[in-house]
Amino acid sequence: MDWYPLYNSLRIAAVSTVIVFFCGICGAYYAAKAPRVVKGLLDVVLTLPLVLPPTVVGYLLLLVLGPKRVLGRWFLENAGVRLTMQWWSAVFATVVVTFPLMYRTARGAFESFDETLAHAGRTLGLSNTYIFWRVRMPVCRQGILAGTVLAFARALGEYGATAMVAGYTPGRTATISTTVYQLWRTNEDGLALRWVLVNLAISAVVLLAVNLLERPGKAVGS
């Protein structure tokens, strides 16, 4: 049994989760502080990939990254880099698809934060950067960690957008999801079932982690 699809899926999910973690926190922090109208517009734009079919997301990415499109052609001609049909092409797809999960979860955590803690920190002469990382983030850690785990799980199981942007090449771009589909197409149900069981095991661990993170934590300072 070739374990490359598992390795590639974990690699893609890990890279995209790191990107989504920082981008999602940044977007959520500023959106939570934005006026109501601006927040509504940001929600529509930033969470749109959550409701769009993954194949539509993949098609829109191809309109930008394809070798005959402006951005894709520029990279191909000037850097010799093809933005599609590579293993890391799937990172583009998973980042777009999983970003709304991280953004919405982190925004909810930030909105529930007691701002009097931040005000108290400022009266003590603490910088906004210090307050953010040493006060706000620890208080909101459960929601942020839950969003991170969910984003990782979604990236690990992504198929539609990934298949369109990265395709399926054994030993190069294959992921668990695309491998299951290809094995089903070729009537290799035994191998397909093995990969399904691997995916189920990983998903169960992820859900367990999310449930543990959602348990009420200890109060700050206790």
**Are the C-beta atoms of residues 130 and 121 closer than 8 Å to each other?**
yes
Once rounded to an integer, what is the mean pLDDT over residues 62-84? 91
Average predicted confidence (pLDDT) for the chain: 89
| pLDDT of res. 172 | 92
**Are the C-beta atoms of residues 106 and 143 closer than 8 Å to each other?**
yes
**Are the C-beta atoms of residues 21 and 151 closer than 8 Å to each other?**
yes
Residue at token pair 């920082």 = 22
| pLDDT of res. 213 | 67
Closest among 166, 222, 207 to 5, alpha carbons compared:
166
Between CA 71 and CA 158 the distance in angstroms is 24
Specify the amino acid at residue 113: F
Once rounded to an integer, what is the mean pLDDT over residues 37-44? 88
Tens-digit pLDDT profile for residues 160-219: 999 999 999 999 999 999 999 999 999 998 999 999 999 889 888 888 877 776 665 544
